[in-house]
Amino acid sequence: MNAYEEYMKQMVKPMRDQLTTEGFQSLETPEEVENYFNEVNDDKTTFVVVNSVCGCAAGLARPAAVAVATQNDHKPDATVTVFAGQEREATEKMREYIGQEPSSPSMALFKGKELVYFMPRLHIEGRHVEEIAMDLKDAFDEHCK
């Protein structure tokens, strides 16, 4: 690993930890993403956060994701994350499963391998964290029973 890569790894560590310390599994290679989805059964719900270094990820997406994933009555069976701009290949593989235009940050909810909800950056940036959390809560309440 060169000096730049090491610097970036250390710089994003707190941003990654904001999710992983709350139980999100960090998928850092395309193989980890693929293996995860190969093991998912049709009834399992998975909440995915495509993390990034931007301000809307820090102040809006991650706080809303953590609050709803840990506090809502209806929770997904699993929470995972990929980090756009850091693990590019893993993020690209996750985006293949999501099947939407690339968007960072973004959040997705799967039932098995089927995408049942997607929140792109467009629906994160410029909103209040409570509004984002309520949208996630509604998606969890509908799909995570």
The Cα–Cα gap between 126 and 111 comes to 28
- Token digits of residue 71: 């506090």
Q: What is the pLDDT of residue 1?
A: 76
State the pLDDT confidence band at 145, using cuts at 50, 70 and 90: confident
State the DSSP string of 14-33: HHHHHHHTTTPEE--SHHHH
Percent of the chain with pLDDT over 70: 100
Report H helices in the chain.
3-20, 30-38, 55-56, 62-71, 88-98, 129-143
CA separation (Å) from 126 to 35, 48, 88, 129? 35, 21, 25, 9
- Residue range 68-88: mean pLDDT, rounded: 96
Residue 55 lies in a domain: yes
**What is the pTM assigned to this prediction?**
0.96
Q: Which residues are catalytic?
A: 54, 56
Tracing tokens 């850092």 back to the chain, one arrives at 28
Which structural domain, as residue segments, surrounds residue 106?
24-144
What's the confidence (pLDDT) of residue 101? 95
- Which residues are bridge partners to 115 per DSSP? 110
**Is residue 16 included in any domain, yes or no?**
no
What's the mean pLDDT in 31-59?
96
State the total domains in the chain.
1
pLDDT of 36 over the 80 cut: yes
Is residue 10 in a domain?
no
Residue 19 lies in a domain: no
Q: Residue 96: which CATH number? A: 3.40.30.10
Q: What does the pLDDT average to over 89-114? A: 97
From the number of C-beta atoms within 10 Å of its C-beta (0-12, 13-18, 19+), residue 11 rates as exposed
